[in-house]
């Protein structure tokens, strides 16, 4: 198997986390997109409880804290990400309302039906879209919201190269109508969905990685695993530029009924 055809899941977890801790965003997105998704959610007050699942270093968690009232929990499996989030919460004077927690999205440390909003940008794929929506629903109050961004097909047909890449990396990838249908079937009213603009990938995700990749390769010079990982990241970037009209991230917002 060539480097270019490896799934990211085959690489060392700690190596991946070290790399992504060095860049601001761990997935496609932007300030504007986070705020747009937030605009569809209308039930938040100072007593609200919000969980950002798979928060990474918490760039969007801080943004949520600046724009909505209530208590926010950022949860991620990797302790270094949570350390960065908690440090940044302090720098933004949000340490009283934002708390980073090391934990897994398939074993949430919350009581059932206590959350007003579950947020997850580019991370629900770790547990799977359908499983995440079904299991997380139990933790939401009636009328609570879920807002997740998820890689999705824009077309029913796509070239074999990009189809095979994503079917290997994430077999749950599907079209936007099918994803919205899965949300409805899981017990939510599909309130809204919208495609993330290309700048969320190019400017905010791929461009900052160019320098980070060079630094990473120098640090791990001669380390074949690290070199293979960066080759894989670069291949994914090339595929996006080549096939971006066929797929991208989509924000899905649902309300528990």
Instruction: Give residues with Cβ within 8 angstroms of 142, minimum separation 6.
Output: 113, 256, 257
Residue 73 lies in a domain: yes
Q: Phi and psi dihedrals of 104, rounded to 5?
A: -110, 140
Residue 54 is part of which domain span?
Answer: 26-196+246-256
Provide the domain count of the chain: 1
Residue 218 lies in a domain: no
| CATH code of residue 128 | 3.40.50.150
pLDDT tens for each residue of 114-145: 999 999 999 999 999 999 999 999 999 999 99
Mean pLDDT of 26-51: 96
Residue 20 lies in a domain: no
Residue 231 lies in a domain: no
Residue 97 lies in a domain: yes
Residue 14 lies in a domain: no
Give the HSE-up count for residue 164: Cα atoms under 13 Å, Cβ half-sphere.
Answer: 6
150 three-state secondary structure? strand
Question: What token pair was written down for 221?
Answer: 């010079």
Beta strands in 16-105 (DSSP E): 49-53, 71-76, 98-102
Of 26-30, 95-99, 144-148, 182-186, the range with the lowest mean pLDDT is 26-30
Residue 21 lies in a domain: no
Residue 10, pLDDT > 70, answer no
Residue 17 lies in a domain: no
pTM of the model: 0.92
Q: Tell me, what's the pLDDT at 11?
A: 56
pLDDT tens for each residue of 29-38: 999 999 999 9
């Amino acid at each position: 198997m060539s480097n270019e055809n490896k799934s990211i899941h085959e690489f060392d977890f700690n190596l991946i986390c070290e790399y992504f801790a060095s860049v601001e965003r761990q997935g496609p997105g932007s300030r504007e997109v986070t705020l747009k998704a937030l605009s569809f959610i209308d039930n938040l007050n100072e007593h609200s409880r919000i969980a950002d699942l798979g928060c990474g270093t918490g760039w969007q968690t801080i943004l949520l804290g600046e724009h909505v009232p209530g208590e926010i929990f950022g949860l991620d499996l990797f302790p270094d990400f949570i350390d960065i989030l908690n440090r940044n919460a302090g720098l933004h004077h949000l340490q009283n309302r934002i708390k980073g927690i090391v934990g897994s999205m398939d074993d949430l440390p919350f009581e059932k039906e206590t959350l007003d909003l579950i947020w997850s940008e580019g991370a629900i794929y770790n547990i799977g879209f359908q499983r995440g929506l079904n299991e997380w629903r139990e933790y939401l109050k009636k009328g609570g919201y879920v807002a997740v961004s998820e890689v999705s097909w824009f077309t029913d047909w796509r070239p074999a190269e990009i189809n095979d890449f994503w079917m290997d990396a994430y077999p749950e990838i599907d079209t936007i109508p099918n994803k919205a249908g899965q949300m409805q079937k899981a017990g939510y009213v599909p309130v809204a969905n919208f495609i993330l603009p290309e700048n969320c990938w190019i400017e905010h995700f791929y461009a900052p990685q160019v320098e980070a990749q060079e630094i990473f390769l120098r640090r791990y010079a001669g380390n074949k695993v690290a070199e293979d990982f960066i080759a894989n990241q670069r291949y994914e970037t090339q595929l996006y530029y080549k096939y971006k009209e066929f797929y991208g991230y989509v924000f899905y917002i649902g309300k528990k009924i």
